Amino acid sequence: MKYKQLIKEQRYQIFALVQIGTSKKEIAEIVNASVSTVYREIARNKNKRNYTPAHAQMLADERKERYARKRTFSATGK
């Protein structure tokens, strides 16, 4: 499966499925993402206690903006 970033709707689906106790593997199949993506999404985007899609989207937008600028690499050592 090719890596793709999650969109807002997928985050809301993940939230709803986590709330009803669906397994991570089933969530991954439903939202059409890899199991590791679902685990990573929940782990890195949760509040103090639980995962919320609005908070996750806000964090994702901040990361996207932070790394949107063009990166330059210096050619040192070669």
Q: Are 14 and 31 in contact (CB under 8 A)?
A: yes
Q: Above 60 in pLDDT, residue 43? A: yes
DSSP conformation letters of 43-77: HHTB-SSSB-HHHHHHHHHHHHHHT-SPP------
pLDDT value of residue 78: 54
Rg (CA), the chain: 15
Closest among 28, 29, 34 to 4, alpha carbons compared: 34
**Span 47-62, pLDDT tens digits:** 888 899 999 999 888 8
Supply the pTM of this predicted model: 0.75
